[in-house]
């Protein structure tokens, strides 16, 4: 069921304590800042968050971490010059980190949305990130078994939605949006513009509306 929602606060109101939340974006591109701020205001806690990074500066995901609302981060690159809130929580032992190579992170998210129970990949074979994982030699190469990452909710940002919830993105802001939309039970998309049904060329739809549950327009 697709809902068009007036405010970001209402859009995230159903997110429960203890949820796994995927948050789109790579750097600032595609990051749904308004939805994250609404999640911060909404008070849900004990969250597992899936994002490429672990927050930057004093905004968005970094503030959610600072406020102690994130129990666990699943990401590929937590350490940045301005990831001081994550750094502090990590060193204090107050946040769990599951570090995943970026391509495995993307493919594990994709696998969840596609109903795949896992896959073997050469990425990480022979490294400490493969320790304890099942391995096989396939086509002469060492490969590591990786499992899907499912989520209760995905917060993503797109450029436009039509009346069917179909989405198009803009440039490199697409990044994790399409795969997170498919991997979560409930996908909330913030968009810059909502157009009527028929307002997007079906040949150019990136995320079909079947993956989208809630749409909120953010100016």
List interacting residues with another protein (CB under 8 A): 26-30, 52, 76-80, 86-87, 90-91, 97, 99-107, 109-110, 121-129, 142, 169-179, 206
69: left (phi over 0), alpha (psi -120 to 50) or beta: alpha
User: Measured from the CB atom, is 122 or 202 closer to another protein?
Assistant: 122
User: Measured from the CB atom, is 44 or 75 closer to another protein?
Assistant: 75
- Tell me how far apart the terminal alpha carbons of the chain are, to the nearest angstrom: 24
Q: Are 53 and 185 in contact (CB under 8 A)?
A: no
Nearest to 75 by CA among 94, 59, 93, 56: 56
User: Measured from the CB atom, is 27 or 68 closer to another protein?
Assistant: 27
Kindly report the length of the chain. Answer: 219
Cα 62–Cα 112–Cα 142 angle in degrees, nearest 5: 95
Rounded Cα gap, residues 174 and 167, in angstroms:
10
CB of 14 to another protein, least distance (A): 26
CB of 145 to another protein, least distance (A): 15
CB of 126 to another protein, least distance (A): 4
Helix, strand or coil for residue 117?
coil
User: Measured from the CB atom, is 104 or 190 closer to another protein?
Assistant: 104
Rounded Cα gap, residues 219 and 130, in angstroms:
43
Tokens of 159: 């450029």
Instruction: Provide φ and ψ at 140, rounded to 5°.
Output: 80, 5
User: Measured from the CB atom, is 7 or 172 closer to another protein?
Assistant: 172
User: Measured from the CB atom, is 136 or 170 closer to another protein?
Assistant: 170
CB of 169 to another protein, least distance (A): 8
CB of 119 to another protein, least distance (A): 10
CB of 12 to another protein, least distance (A): 23
């Amino acid at each position: 069921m697709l809902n068009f929602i007036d405010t970001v606060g209402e859009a995230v109101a159903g997110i429960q304590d203890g949820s796994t939340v995927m948050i789109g974006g790579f750097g600032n591109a595609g990051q749904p800042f308004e939805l994250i701020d609404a999640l911060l205001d909404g008070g849900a806690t004990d969250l597992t968050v899936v994002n490429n990074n672990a927050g930057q500066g004093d905004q968005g995901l970094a503030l959610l971490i600072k406020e102690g609302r994130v129990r666990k981060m699943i990401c590929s690159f937590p350490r940045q010059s301005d990831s001081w809130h994550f750094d502090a929580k990590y060193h204090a032992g107050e946040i769990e980190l599951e570090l995943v190579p970026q391509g495995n992170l993307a493919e594990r998210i994709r696998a969840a949305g596609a109903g795949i129970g896992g896959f073997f990949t050469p990425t990480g074979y022979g490294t400490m990130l493969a320790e304890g994982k099942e391995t096989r030699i396939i086509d002469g190469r060492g490969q590591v078994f990786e499992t899907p990452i499912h989520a209760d909710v995905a917060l993503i940002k797109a450029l436009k939605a039509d009346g069917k919830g179909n989405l198009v993105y803009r440039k490199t802001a697409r990044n994790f949006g399409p795969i997170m939309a498919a991997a979560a039970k409930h996908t909330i998309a913030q968009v810059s513009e909502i157009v009527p049904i028929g307002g997007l060329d079906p040949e150019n739809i990136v995320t079909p509306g079947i993956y989208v549950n809630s749409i909120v327009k953010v100016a």
